[in-house]
Amino acid sequence: MGKRGIKRYFELLGIYARMDLASLARDGKFMAIVIAADLISNISSISGIFLLAWKFGGIGGLDRFEVLFMLAYGNIVMGFLNMMGGCNALFPSRIIGRGQWEHMFVMPLPYALQLTVGIFPFTGSGSLLSGLGMLCVAVWNMETVLPWWWPGALLLLLLTSMVIVTALSYLFSSLAFYAPVQCEEISSTVVYSMEHTMTFPLSGMPFYIRYPLLSIFPAGLMAWFPTMIILGKTTAFETFYPAVFALAVSLAAAHFFRKGFRYYVQKGINRYIPGGHRS
């Protein structure tokens, strides 16, 4: 993506943001319901684990507000990705599986640009805002004294977690090039499963559960492990693990996605019947 591409990217983000604001302004009452629903659903989704932590004074070596910090971290990761990837940019298998990938061939924009545009900063930020709110409550009430560098580490780790989720989504979406019907929703299955599993503190779990959740199915890297790093409960060597993992999974995703794309260009897809409906 050249200099012009980057400029165009931000222009497109601006257009999407304006469209989102327009939808909010056109029907404020309805959009208020949407935002409230988003907030309620986010709070509901983490309340089970937090209530358990509250009742038992913490879970697996993390106290109540450390658990809340972890849940907030996960909410920020998913909230930001959902806000930025609202147009299925986070779920490329849907675009591929629905036969919409061809539509991108005729657009006068690079693929990377087309895949990354789509932002809902006003109506799609409920999860992000609830995450930020919970983070403030957690930090305010936490008994643990956080190191001076924690805000910087938080930003870097958030970025790393987002890269991991996005890369995994693209890695699994590569399968949709080969089996578009069956794998249309594979990216959402992967992302949503990680989203559900990330709420569990892995401290105190045996290594044969913890290690797979940090490697094969890295839900632990979406909230628990980064929280442990910020709380200073990991070794110096372990601190770099999320970044190394993010790099490895990104390279794998890039390789397999390109490979799948080449297959797709040769074989094509035909999911639409002449009447216009998808098969």
Where do contacts with other proteins occur on this chain (CB under 8 A)?
30, 33-34, 37-38, 40-42, 44-45, 47-49, 51-52, 54-56, 59-60, 179, 181-183, 186, 189-190, 193, 196-197, 200-202, 204-206, 209, 213, 217, 219, 276-278
**Is the CB of 93 or the CB of 116 nearer to other proteins?**
93
Q: How far is the CB of 142 from other proteins (least distance, A)?
A: 19
**Is the CB of 125 or the CB of 197 nearer to other proteins?**
197
Q: How far is the CB of 204 from other proteins (least distance, A)?
A: 4
Q: How far is the CB of 71 from other proteins (least distance, A)?
A: 13
**Is the CB of 2 or the CB of 206 nearer to other proteins?**
206
C-beta of residue 75 within 8 angstroms of C-beta of residue 128: yes
Helix pair 64-84, 150-173: axis angle to 10 deg: 50
Q: How far is the CB of 225 from other proteins (least distance, A)?
A: 13
**Is the CB of 44 or the CB of 266 nearer to other proteins?**
44
Rounded distance, CA 195 to CA 72, Å?
Answer: 12
Where does residue 21 rank: exposed (0-12), middle (13-18), buried (19+ CB within 10 A)? middle
Q: How far is the CB of 48 from other proteins (least distance, A)?
A: 4
Widest CA span in the chain:
64
Where does residue 155 rank: exposed (0-12), middle (13-18), buried (19+ CB within 10 A)? exposed
The dihedral of CA 242, 45, 40, 192: what is its sign? positive
Where does residue 26 rank: exposed (0-12), middle (13-18), buried (19+ CB within 10 A)? exposed
The two three-digit tokens of residue 112, written as one number: 């990377």
The dihedral of CA 88, 91, 93, 94: what is its sign? negative
Q: How far is the CB of 57 from other proteins (least distance, A)?
A: 8
**Is the CB of 59 or the CB of 119 nearer to other proteins?**
59
**Is the CB of 46 or the CB of 115 nearer to other proteins?**
46
